Chain A
Amino acid sequence: MATQEDFPRDRLGVLTGHNGSVHAVTYSAGLAQYLLTGSSDRTIRLFNPARASTSSALIQTYSAHGYDVLDLSVSADNARFASVGGDRAVLLWDVASGATLRRFRGHAARVNACAFGGEGDGVLVSGSYDGTVRLWDVRAQGGREMMCLGEARDSVSAVRVVGADIVAASVDGRVRTYDVRMGELTVDVIGHPVTSLTPTKRAESLLVSSLDSTLRLLDRASGKLLQAYTTSSDSPHLFQNTSYRVRSALGCDENVVLSGSENGVVAVWDVMDGSRPKYVLRHAEGGLERGAAADEAGRKSAKRSVVSAVAFCPARREWVSAGGDGNVVVWGDAGGA
């Protein structure tokens, strides 16, 4: 048996085509053979990651957003997916035909996050810069809003549905869990703006990213901190997250914690040890672009070097990183897994 690295660190290919930073990546459900990416160029692309770096990687492009696409969520049956973005729209798409099935209107500002939930994915949850979390009825004709949760005092940056719980993270530094079954709202104060949520498979823990360059794994039942993932003080350049929304993920059967970073790298921690990243992988090949001396170029390259999203494939040892340069890098084990 070939010795496998504990973490797939080989660059398998690059999915190109987007004309702006890629804000969201998500694998399809089930076998996770496809990858959906949403970008600031207002398009959503469906890729086949196995064909990365080939011309046949791109399968379809969905264009309906008037502004950046900020988050994507695929329903469990792989037939539909939802996208949200800067144009305050929450759209429900049919994957095969590429048609927009629903347009949910209601948010007053850009929509930052979305997630399917409920029985048969009949509920779509969206969180917006306007501080509200809205629940939409997918089944009803015409897109009806079921509920609007306005407890957050600032922008809602991430939403997840865990069973019958709706978890919303906000820039006001709190994670709110709405328990539909028990009729209870649980507020966990994190202290810093929260930008990403990743529940574990068994829903007992929650990985939370915040803008103090720290990720925290919290126990959902008690609210206690299980582990904090950060970089050591003597090497702060390894991982940085203080300004932009950067997504994190759990991978390798929840043995590793990955996160994008603002300095163009992906930081990977072992789940048991969060003192410093185990691996730091550069997203862009060849480092930062040349000629970044001027201020404008410097600013641009700063945004371009943000690795805003990472996603670990639930079915195999493969993961992707999406960056401000518009590329999505597919990582895995070279030579197949």
Chain B
Amino acid sequence: MSYKRNRSAFESDIPPPPPSYAIFGTPLSGGENARDDGTFVPVWKQTVTDERGRKRLHGAFTGGFSAGYFNTVGSKEGWTPSTFVSSRTNRWKGGADKDGEHKSKGQRVEDFMDEEDLAEREEERRVRTNEGFGGLGGTAEEVGARGGDRLMDLIRPGGETMGVKLLQRMGWRVGQGVGRRVRRKARGDEEAGTETHWFAPEDSKMVSFAKKNDTMGLGYDADKEGGPLKKPDRNGGNGSDAEENEDGEEEPSAFRPVFKSSKGTANKTPARKSGFGVGILNDTGSDDEDPYEIGPKISYNRTIGGSDKKKNKTKPNAKTCISPSTTSGLRKPSSIGANPLLRSGSVFVSSRKTPSGTAFTPAPSNAGFHKCHDGCLPLDGFVLSVSINPSDALNSKTYAPPRIPEGWKSAKSTSASLAAAAAQQQQQYLSAADAARASELNPSARGAMIGEAPLKGPSVFELLSPEARARLDAATAGLASRFTKAKAPVGPDGQAGTEPVVQDKPADPAVEAAKMGMFGELTRSKVAWKPARLVCKRFGVSVPDVAEEGEQAF
């Protein structure tokens, strides 16, 4: 309850009690004496910029427009365009000033590029070979088609071999296979249709000589098998270990779980090198699948070391390594000891292998002592070769090529020797054309030489009818008059130079007359000629009444 004190009582209260303020909010840091360093800016000054000082938050995809002045438009005055300032004089801000100092760099492309653009740029700088770059042996696709072999077809026989020529004559084309035609659907079209056609068989692949670096069996296809993990079982179910093992596949063990699919082959799961289960890429969209229901069926082996039943059939004694003296027949990878990860147990090395007859040598240094990859010695009588390089084998003394006896000549001739022989023969060689030119015989002489009776009777011409003869004659004459023998070559330049001296056939009577100097009727001829209408107009004459005929060239 408040009461009123008199003034004196009020003023006598020294000091007056501190005013009781209700404090809201956080006090400013630095107390009352802190200077305004501009860290708190008003809303209209707050712009978001990135580390390079460029404005952010522009555009729908990067946060929304912060358009304009306090989210209004334009400037304080509203939507007024800024006045244009010509940069013509200040255009190039890079380089040195007249004082030789470098001022600001002006605008660079990099100013407008963000991280993605810069990364792309760096990517461009990296020099790569083009797709389809032709390295040794061809492009990547061609090399792949050959199974990774770069050297196989590098050196080919020059020209076409006889076999190729024969095949081509019989209808074979390069890239086709050889053999019976096959009936199949057309490939390449997306909608192949259902009709089948006859096609040439596929070309057989060349055996690739790629080195085998793994211990998988022959014909092992990593892509198909999907790795060392066992591929899905046909029969399904957990049991029937026995059948699996008889196929020679790896048996399951505690350390290498095997996954089986319960669906069988109807469900084609794509071979994967790693991973299991269903993924987004494997989603066929079938709603019947319940990923939780199926799950990978991990089947563990319940006995250590596998069952004895299997072992006795095929596997040798677990404990010992196969020594060369006791081996017979096939070589199988040896024992499975207590630890199946170790493929070999203890190794007994026969003292017979030591060439010097001494006892066991821990570190083999001689060739004969080299062990195979699994630690066992090679078969009796065999020696592991030191190097796998085939050229070394060729260079060694044992495999040297045979020595050629002196004075031996090859039955086949090289191109060089052929060329030498040809050069020799060239002087004696007479082409048909040369022979024809050199001969001085005419048909009748030749006839006499071979004892022919000379032809009697009329020539072919008389067999023709008179009209045909006349036609032939006229044709030849006409043609002949069109062509003349040029005497002097024509000068190529524009010089009023050598005009070809044209000699008409002497048969032309007009030319004959002219040559004799009898000018006049003999040398003159007239033909009807129709001038164009416009020409007549320009000449100021009326169009002459001329029937246009096919004109003869004179």
Contact = CB atoms under 8 A, between A and B. Distances in A.
Contact of B553 (A151, A183, A191, A218): A151
Contact of B494 (A67, A151, A173, A228): A67
Nearest to A193: B499
B524 A157 contact: no
A112 interface: yes
Contacts of B318: none
A223 B530 CA distance: 22
A12 to B, nearest CB: 25
B22 to A, nearest CB: 100
B529 A112 contact: no
B479 to A, nearest CB: 13
B488 A308 contact: no
Nearest to B508: A189
A183 B544 contact: yes
Interface in B474-514: 482, 488, 493-502, 504, 508, 510-511, 513-514
A223 to B, nearest CB: 4
Interface string A233-252: 00000000011110000000
Given A137-B534, A223-B524, A244-B496, A154 B541 contact: no
Contacts of A178: 529, 531
Given A117-B539, A123-B535, A183-B529, A225 B517 contact: yes
A180 B511 CA distance: 26
Given A178-B531, A180-B539, A154 B496 contact: no
B539 A123 contact: yes
Contact of B554 (A70, A87, A151, A164): A151
A193 B554 contact: no
Contacts of B539: 117-119, 123, 164, 180-181
Contacts of B527: 184-187
Contacts of B501: 193, 211, 242
A180 B495 contact: no
A109 B531 CA distance: 24
Contacts of B535: 123, 135, 146-147, 180
Contacts of B531: 147, 178, 180, 183
B519 interface: yes
A26 to B, nearest CB: 15
Which of B501, B519, B527, B541 has the most A CB atoms < 10 Å from its CB?
B519
A189 B540 CA distance: 29
A114 B532 CA distance: 19
Nearest to A68: B494
A188 B502 contact: no
Interface residues of B, number: 46
A323 interface: no
A274 interface: no
Determine the interface band of chain A, counting residues with CB < 8 A from chain B: 35 or more
Given A110-B494, A123-B539, A225 B520 contact: yes
A28 interface: no
Contacts of B536: 180
A134 to B, nearest CB: 11
B540 A118 contact: yes
Nearest to A111: B494
A86 B493 contact: yes
Contacts, number: 163
A303 B521 CA distance: 38
A181 B497 contact: no
A183 B510 CA distance: 23
Contacts of B551: 151, 185
Which of A184, A193, A228 has the most B CB atoms < 10 Å from its CB?
A184
B520 A223 contact: yes
Nearest to A125: B535
A188 B499 contact: no
A123 B538 contact: yes
Interface in A117-149: 117-119, 122-123, 135, 137, 139, 146-147
Contacts of A164: 539-541
Nearest to B509: A189
A191 B514 contact: yes
B119 interface: no
B523 interface: yes
B383 to A, nearest CB: 85
Contacts of A70: 494, 496
A273 to B, nearest CB: 16
Contacts of A189: 508, 510-511, 513-514, 523-525
B150 to A, nearest CB: 58
A94 to B, nearest CB: 20
B520 A222 contact: yes
A151 B554 CA distance: 7
A287 to B, nearest CB: 22
B541 to A, nearest CB: 5
B546 interface: yes
A190 B538 contact: no
A222 B521 CA distance: 7
B287 interface: no
Contacts of A182: 544
Interface string B57-95: 000000000000000000000000000000000000000
A164 B535 CA distance: 10
Given A118-B540, A225-B517, A225-B520, A185 B528 contact: yes
29 contacts: A23-B496, A40-B494, A85-B494, A118-B538, A118-B539, A118-B540, A147-B531, A155-B499, A157-B499, A164-B539, A164-B540, A172-B502, A173-B504, A173-B511, A173-B514, A174-B554, A181-B541, A181-B544, A183-B528, A186-B527, A187-B526, A188-B519, A189-B513, A189-B514, A191-B504, A191-B515, A193-B499, A242-B501, A303-B497
Q: Nearest 10 A-B pairs (CB), nearest first?
A: A86-B494, A183-B544, A68-B494, A191-B514, A183-B546, A223-B524, A185-B529, A225-B519, A189-B510, A245-B496
Given A187-B525, A189-B514, A189-B523, 17 more contacts: A70-B494, A110-B494, A118-B538, A137-B534, A146-B538, A147-B535, A153-B482, A164-B541, A171-B500, A179-B529, A183-B528, A186-B525, A186-B526, A187-B527, A189-B511, A193-B502, A245-B497
Interface of B: 482, 488, 493-502, 504, 508, 510-511, 513-515, 517, 519-521, 523-532, 534-536, 538-541, 544-546, 551, 553-554
